[in-house]
Each structure stands twice: as structure tokens, then as C-alpha cells.
């Protein structure tokens, strides 16, 4: 059994407001692995003086001072990083200083826990630290690309080139890292829980032209939910849209719905536990989230596992996974006009959507956790052999 250290800023952290509802995908993954996982949380450095100027940096200061926190049974230690908004070239100077000041704690974890491999979860901060640990301690590392600059960076290249294995969440990311850096990667997306594959009894739906859409997401500007609302307002069809989630865009979206007088057609349902999603999604005809950019979007695949076709945007993680017109629809751009064209097309009806939903459900089988976990275990074994 391998001992793996997860190095990431993507953990839910009860001490940081913006991280309280952070995606728990890494914890979810760690709980399923045969390998034993130890977690290190990277966060921006803050001291007593800096904390006085910003509530956000006060939270960082408290989180770092606390030293560790617990999430779902995992004791996660904190690792503050000097990461000022400067050019990427200069960042490594600050990263090296951060590693120097935290080297005792990091090396203690590696030594005491007998870490076999480090799994970095970002191409800049986490990957640089992993690379230095590899150079100093000989511990191999792999990296999952969760977003990457659209321009060539020598720092990113050095980080990726030294990794034993580079993991891309989607084929779009795989193509991007090959194009920018000529580095090969293996595609391993996130998994889908078995509860999404359990048979759900569909309700009878009589009116072919009445469509029920749904989205589940953090309501951020990049999700482009406002474009869906505008498209519904312009559509000639009778479309209902339920929105699950909360976030900074919620007040704006509610105001938009009220301004367009769409309260009878669009409802805000608030946050929902992941365990309730399979039953809820079963009530709808199509999942819509024209998010851009989006490295993967696990919820697309959860919706497909239930049997819903999905609407996404080309150039995102769902592109390359689904085929336009077979498991869902791919938009060339996240605009209200393009969404309206899709909604008003003759094929956008319950019969056609149900057929596409069957295709989506079949495709989602590849994303079962058992398949994803085996791929990760194989990568860890491969990396340690190198």
C-alpha cells in the first residue's frame, strides 16, 4: 500500500469563509483509494500585520497559526505560501523562501509518515514545492492539472517536466499541455458515486413541448447562468428552469428573473446535499451549465449517470467527453442567442432528450469511482517504479 501526500489549496477549510463550501473532491478521492493519504493545505501567507488590512488575510493568518484542521476524518496540516501578484518568473523566489521556512514541518511529515509519493494538485505552487521535495528528498511526484495559464511559462514547464506522471482531468486539458509544452499526460477525470447509477422511476410527462431544465453549481459569473435566463425569456417554448446552489451571483440572478418577469418559470432552490441529487435530477429533462472556463465539471457526469443529456461549451472539460447531439449539446460560445437556438430547435423535445439521456447514462459508466481509483493506483505504482 502506497503512502501518498496530497499537496493542494483545494480542501474545504472551516476557518476560511471562501473555503467552507470548497469542493470536497480530493477528500472524496482519498477516502476511496487503497493507498494511505496524508493532506497538506497550501494557502497564502499572512502575518499579524497583514491580517489587519483584510478580513480574508486575517482568516489566512488564523488558519496558518492554528496549524491544522480536520475534514471528514482527515487531519490536514497548513502550509502558508508567499505568493504575491508578481510575474510567474519571480514567483519561484517566494516559493523557495516559503519552502525554507516550512521545510521542517514538511520533511517531518515525509519522514514520520514514510511518504512514497507526492500528488500535487496545481501546476504552479503545489507542483513547484513537489519538485523541490523531489530534488531534496528524492520523493517522486505526480501532478493533476486543475487549470493552467494559456501562455508558455518556464516555471510551469520545469514543474511538469520533472513530474513522474502528469494527469489531465479532460482531453481538452491533455491537448493543451501537449500544445504548449509538448508533454504527454494521462486523462483521469473525477469519479461519479454509485448512487447516481441507481435506477430511478421516471414520472410520466405528457406535454412534449414543455421542457424542464436544471443546473447545480456555485453561482459564479463564469457559470453563465444569466445567459440561460435570457435564452428562456426569448424562447418560443414553454421552459422551466430550477437552479440549485448559491454564490456571489445569486442576488443578480434573482433580480434578473424578476426584471424579466420569469418568476413562474425560473426557481432558485438553494444548496442541496449531493446525496439528494439523484432523486432530484430525475425530475428533469436536461442539465444545463454553459460554464466557461471549466476544467471538468463533475456534475455534468453525475447528471448523465442519472440519465440526463447535458448542455456545455466547447473548449471545456465536457468537450471531448460527449458528442454534440448524442449525449447532449456543445455550444460554440456561452451566449443567450446560441442557447435560444438550441432550445427552439425541433430536436429539443422530451422524446429526443430522453433518447440522448440513455446515451449519456451509458457513457457515464466509464466514470464510476472504481474505474477512476484503479487508474490512480496504477499511476502511483508507475511513478514509484520510475
Q: Which numeric CATH code is attached to 3-191+369-385?
A: 3.40.50.2000
Domain 194-367 in the same topology as domain 3-191+369-385: yes
User: Are 368 and 196 spatial neighbours (Cβ–Cβ below 8 Å)?
Assistant: no
Task: Using the structure block, give the residue that is written with the C-alpha cell 507542483.
Answer: 127
In this predicted structure, the answer to whether residue 88 has a pLDDT above a threshold of 60 is no
**Is 194-367 CATH 3.40.50.2000?**
yes
Instruction: Give pairs for 277-280: CB < 8 Å, separation 24+.
Output: 277/196, 277/216, 277/302, 277/306, 278/195, 278/196, 278/198, 278/200, 278/302, 278/305, 278/306, 279/200, 280/214, 280/244
In this predicted structure, the answer to whether residue 26 has a pLDDT above a threshold of 60 is yes
Beta-sheet strand order (sheet of 310-313): 266-270, 238-244, 210-216, 286-288, 310-313, 328-331
In this predicted structure, the answer to whether residue 89 has a pLDDT above a threshold of 60 is no
Q: Give 78: exposed, middle or buried? Use CB within 10 Å, 0-12, 13-18, 19+.
A: buried
Please state the domain extents for the chain: 3-191+369-385, 194-367
Tens-digit pLDDT profile for residues 90-119: 666 666 666 666 666 677 777 888 899 999
Tens-digit pLDDT profile for residues 228-251: 999 999 999 999 999 999 989 999
Tens-digit pLDDT profile for residues 190-218: 999 999 988 776 656 666 678 999 999 98
Kindly state the average pLDDT of the residues 280-304.
Answer: 91
Q: For residue 261, what pLDDT band results from cuts at 50, 70 and 90?
A: very high
Amino acid at each position: 500500500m502506497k503512502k501518498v501526500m496530497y499537496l493542494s489549496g483545494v480542501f474545504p477549510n472551516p476557518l476560511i469563509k471562501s473555503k467552507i463550501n470548497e469542493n470536497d473532491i480530493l477528500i472524496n478521492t482519498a477516502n476511496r483509494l487503497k493507498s494511505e493519504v496524508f493532506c497538506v493545505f497550501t494557502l497564502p501567507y499572512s502575518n499579524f500585520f497583514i491580517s489587519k488590512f483584510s478580513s480574508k488575510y486575517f482568516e489566512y493568518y488564523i488558519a496558518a497559526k492554528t496549524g491544522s484542521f480536520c475534514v471528514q476524518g482527515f487531519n490536514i496540516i497548513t502550509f502558508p505560501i508567499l505568493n504575491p501578484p508578481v510575474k510567474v518568473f519571480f514567483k519561484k523566489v517566494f516559493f523557495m523562501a516559503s519552502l525554507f521556512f516550512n521545510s521542517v514541518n514538511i520533511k517531518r511529515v515525509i519522514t514520520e509518515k514514510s511518504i512514497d509519493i507526492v500528488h500535487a494538485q496545481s501546476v504552479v505552487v503545489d507542483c513547484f514545492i513537489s519538485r523541490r521535495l523531489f530534488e531534496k528528498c528524492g520523493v517522486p511526484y505526480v501532478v493533476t492539472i486543475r487549470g493552467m495559464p494559456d501562455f508558455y511559462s518556464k516555471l510551469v514547464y520545469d514543474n511538469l517536466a520533472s513530474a513522474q506522471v502528469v494527469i489531465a482531468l479532460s482531453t481538452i486539458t491533455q491537448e493543451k499541455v501537449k500544445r504548449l509544452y509538448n508533454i504527454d499526460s494521462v486523462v483521469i477525470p473525477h469519479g461519479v458515486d454509485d448512487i447516481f447509477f441507481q435506477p430511478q422511476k421516471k414520472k410520466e410527462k405528457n406535454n412534449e413541448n414543455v421542457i424542464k431544465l436544471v443546473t447545480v453549481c456555485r453561482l459564479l459569473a463564469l457559470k453563465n447562468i444569466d445567459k440561460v435566463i435570457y435564452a428562456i425569456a426569448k424562447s418560443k417554448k414553454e421552459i422551466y428552469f430550477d437552479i440549485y446552489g448559491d454564490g456571489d451571483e445569486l442576488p443578480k440572478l434573482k433580480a434578473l428573473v424578476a426584471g424579466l418577469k420569469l418568476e413562474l418559470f425560473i426557481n432558485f432552490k438553494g444548496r442541496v446535499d449531493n446525496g439528494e441529487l439523484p432523486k432530484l435530477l430525475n425530475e428533469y429533462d436536461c442539465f444545463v451549465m454553459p460554464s466557461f472556463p471549466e476544467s471538468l465539471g463533475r456534475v455534468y457526469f453525475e447528471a448523465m449517470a442519472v440519465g440526463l443529456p447535458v448542455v456545455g461549451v466547447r473548449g471545456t472539460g465536457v468537450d471531448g467527453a460527449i458528442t454534440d447531439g448524442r449525449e447532449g449539446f456543445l455550444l460554440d460560445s456561452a451566449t443567450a442567442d446560441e442557447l435560444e437556438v438550441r432550445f427552439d430547435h425541433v430536436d429539443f423535445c422530451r422524446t429526443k432528450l430522453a433518447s440522448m439521456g440513455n446515451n449519456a447514462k451509458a457513457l457515464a459508466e466509464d466514470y464510476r469511482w472504481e474505474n477512476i481509483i484503479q487508474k490512480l493506483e496504477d499511476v502511483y505504482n508507475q511513478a514509484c517504479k520510475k
